[in-house]
C-alpha cells in the first residue's frame, strides 16, 4: 500500500503509524416529539494515513450519522458527545469558523446522490472551479485549468469538453466522478464516501471503486467508506467496522472478518449476501436475519442484537458486552458475550463466566 502523502498549506503530515482521524466514545442523540433517539452510542474508530476503512451495517444503524458528525454537519437538534480528533486537533465542539475551514479542505465528503448535490444550472467545470477559488484562493483561469486536471484524475474522458457541460448531460457514473473531483480538489486529509456506489450499475460501481483506490495510492488520501454493501467493503477496504443499532459490534481486517466473523450479526450479514457459486445446493440459499432492528428511542444496557441472535442468553439481555479483542494483539474486536467459534460456556474476555 502506498503511504506517500502531500500537505496543503500549513497542514501537518502525520508521522508513520499515527492515525489521521481518531474517534472516541462518540454518541449522538436527537430530541424528537416521541422522545430522545440515540442514533450513535459510544462509537470508537481510527483511520490511518493512506488507509481505507469501511463502515457497514443495515440502514438506520448510525453509519451516516457517525460520518456527518465528524465535521459538524448534523443539525442543531443533534447532541454530540465524545471526541473527534483530526491530526491531534479536537473538532467536536470547535467554533463554527474552524469547522468551516476544515470542511472540504481537510475532511471532504462524497454523497450518494450527485444530482441532489450538484447545481443543475451551473456547468460542472464551474462547480469544481468554485471549490478551488474559495478554499485555495486560485484565480478563475487557474481554477479552470485545475478543474480539467481533476476531471482527468478521476477518469472522465475528454475533460476539456466535459467542464462545459451541465450535470444533466452526464451519466450517473460521470456525475459521481465529478463529485469525487470536487471532494479531492483541495487534497483533503480524510475523504468520507457515504454510499458512493448506490444506484449505480455494477460496472460503474467498479469504476468508482477503482477511482477511490487510485486516490489512496497516488495521493495518500485516507478514506472512510460508509456502505450497506459488503461487496464494496470486500473490494476496497483494508479494515471494516460493523455497526448495529448505533453501536460498533465488530472490528477487524477485511479478510479476517469475511473468513472468520465472530459476531452473530456480522455472520448474518455475510449469510444474507450473494456470493459466486451460491444456489448450487438447495440448502445454500441466502439466509435472512430473523426479527427487526430495535427502536432507537432508548439504548438499553444490554446487547441490542439479543432478540435476533441464535446464541443469546439471559446475560445478553441484561448487560451490554464491551468491544474487546478475543485474542490479544490480533486487532479483531467483538462486542459479544458468546462470540462465534467459542464454546457454549466461554464468555467474552472482558466479562466473567456465566453461572
pLDDT of residue 171: 92
For residue 5, name the pLDDT band (cuts at 50, 70, 90). Answer: very low
Handedness of CA 168, 172, 173, 176 (dihedral sign): positive
The pLDDT, as a whole number, for residue 295 is: 79
Higher pLDDT, 5 or 133: 133
32-46, 112-126, 256-270: range with highest mean pLDDT:
256-270
* Residue labelled with grid coordinates 446475560: 315
Least Cα distance to 113 among 178, 176, 206, 180 occurs for 176
Number of C-beta neighbours around residue 125 at 10 A: 23
In this predicted structure, what is the pLDDT of residue 12? Answer: 45
User: In angstroms, rounded to a whole number, what is the distance separating the alpha carbons of residues 186 and 134?
Assistant: 10
pLDDT at res. 290: 86
Q: How confident is the model at residue 212 (pLDDT cuts 50, 70, 90)?
A: very high
Residue partners of 222: CB distance under 8 A and separation at least 6: 20, 21, 47, 48, 49, 50, 51, 52, 189, 190, 191, 216
Q: How confident is the model at residue 296 (pLDDT cuts 50, 70, 90)?
A: confident
The pLDDT score that the predictor gives to residue 327 is 85
- Specify which of 158-172, 200-214, 263-277 reaches the highest per-range mean pLDDT: 158-172
Q: Where along the chain do its domains lie?
A: 108-187
* 222 neighbors 190 (Cβ within 8 angstroms): yes
pLDDT one-digit tens code per residue, 238-281: 999 999 999 999 999 999 999 999 999 999 999 887 765 444 44
User: Does 342 have pLDDT greater than 80?
Assistant: no
pLDDT tens profile 174-202: 999 999 999 999 999 999 999 988 878 88
Q: What is the pTM of this model?
A: 0.87
Q: Give the pLDDT of residue 39.
A: 93
Q: What's the CA gap between 222 and 82, in Å, rounded?
A: 22
Which is nearest to 80 in space by CA: 121, 39, 139, 49?
39
Q: What is the 3-state secondary structure (H, E, C) of the chain?
A: CCCCCCCCCCCCCCCCCCEEEEEEEEEEEEEECCEEEEEEEEEEEEEECCCEEEEECCCCCCHHHHHHHCCCCCCCCEEEEEEEEECCEECCCCCHHHHHHHECCCEEEECCCHHHHCCCCCCHHHHHHHHHHHHCCCCHHHHHHHHHHHHHHCCCCCHHHHCCCCHHHCCHHHHHHHHHHHHCCCCCCEEEEECCCCCCCHHHHHHHHHHHHHHHHHHCCEEEEEECCHHHHHHHCCEEEEEECCEEEEEEEHHHHHHCCCCHHHHHHHHCCCCCCCCCCCCCCCCCCCCCCCCCCCCCCCCCCHHHCCCCCCCCCCCCCCCEECCCCCCCEECCCCCCCCCCCCCCCCCCCCC
Question: In the predicted model, what is the mean pLDDT of residues 322-334?
Answer: 91
Under the banding of pLDDT at 50, 70 and 90, the label for residue 4 is: very low
Q: What percent of the chain has pLDDT over 70?
A: 88
pLDDT of residue 283: 56
pLDDT tens profile 50-96: 999 999 998 889 999 999 999 999 998 899 999 999 999 999 989 99
| Dist. CA 78–CA 328, nearest whole Å | 36
- Asked if pLDDT for residue 26 goes beyond 50, the answer is yes
Average pLDDT, the chain: 87
pLDDT(347) > 80 = no
Amino acid at each position: 500500500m502506498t503511504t506517500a502523502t502531500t500537505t496543503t498549506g500549513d497542514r501537518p503530515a502525520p508521522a508513520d503509524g499515527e492515525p489521521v482521524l481518531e474517534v472516541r466514545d462518540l454518541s449522538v442523540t436527537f430530541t424528537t416529539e416521541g422522545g430522545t433517539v440515540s442514533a450513535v452510542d459510544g462509537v470508537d474508530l481510527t483511520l490511518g494515513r493512506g488507509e481505507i476503512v469501511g463502515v457497514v451495517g443495515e440502514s438506520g444503524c448510525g453509519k451516516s450519522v457517525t460520518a456527518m458528525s465528524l465535521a459538524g454537519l448534523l443539525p442543531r437538534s443533534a447532541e454530540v458527545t465524545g471526541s473527534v480528533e483530526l491530526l491531534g486537533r479536537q473538532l467536536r465542539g470547535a467554533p463554527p469558523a474552524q469547522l468551516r475551514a476544515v470542511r472540504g479542505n481537510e475532511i471532504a465528503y462524497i454523497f450518494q446522490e450527485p444530482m441532489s448535490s450538484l447545481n443543475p444550472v451551473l456547468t460542472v467545470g464551474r462547480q469544481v472551479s468554485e471549490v478551488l477559488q474559495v478554499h485555495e484562493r486560485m484565480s478563475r483561469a487557474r481554477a479552470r485549468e485545475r478543474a480539467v486536471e481533476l476531471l482527468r484524475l478521476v477518469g472522465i474522458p475528454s475533460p476539456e469538453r466535459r467542464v462545459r457541460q451541465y450535470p444533466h448531460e452526464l451519466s450517473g457514473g460521470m456525475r459521481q466522478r465529478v463529485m469525487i473531483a470536487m471532494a479531492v480538489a483541495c487534497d483533503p486529509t480524510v475523504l468520507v464516501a457515504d454510499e458512493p456506489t448506490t444506484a449505480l450499475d455494477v460496472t460503474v460501481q467498479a469504476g468508482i471503486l477503482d477511482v477511490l483506490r487510485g486516490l489512496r495510492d497516488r495521493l495518500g488520501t485516507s478514506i472512510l467508506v460508509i456502505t450497506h454493501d459488503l461487496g464494496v467493503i470486500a473490494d476496497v477496504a483494508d479494515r471494516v467496522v460493523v455497526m448495529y443499532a448505533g453501536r460498533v459490534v465488530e472490528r477487524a481486517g477485511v479478510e479476517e472478518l469475511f473468513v472468520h466473523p465472530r459476531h452473530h450479526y456480522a455472520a448474518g450479514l455475510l449469510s444474507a449476501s450473494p456470493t459466486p457459486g451460491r444456489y448450487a445446493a438447495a440448502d445454500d440459499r441466502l439466509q435472512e436475519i430473523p426479527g427487526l432492528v430495535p427502536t432507537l428511542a432508548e439504548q438499553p444496557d444490554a446487547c441490542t442484537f439479543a432478540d435476533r441472535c441464535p446464541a443469546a442468553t439471559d446475560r445478553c439481555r441484561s448487560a451490554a458486552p464491551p468491544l474487546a479483542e478475543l485474542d490479544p494483539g490480533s486487532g479483531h474486536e467483538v462486542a459479544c458475550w458468546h462470540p462465534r467459534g467459542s464454546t457454549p460456556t466461554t464468555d467474552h474476555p472482558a466479562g466473567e463466566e456465566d453461572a
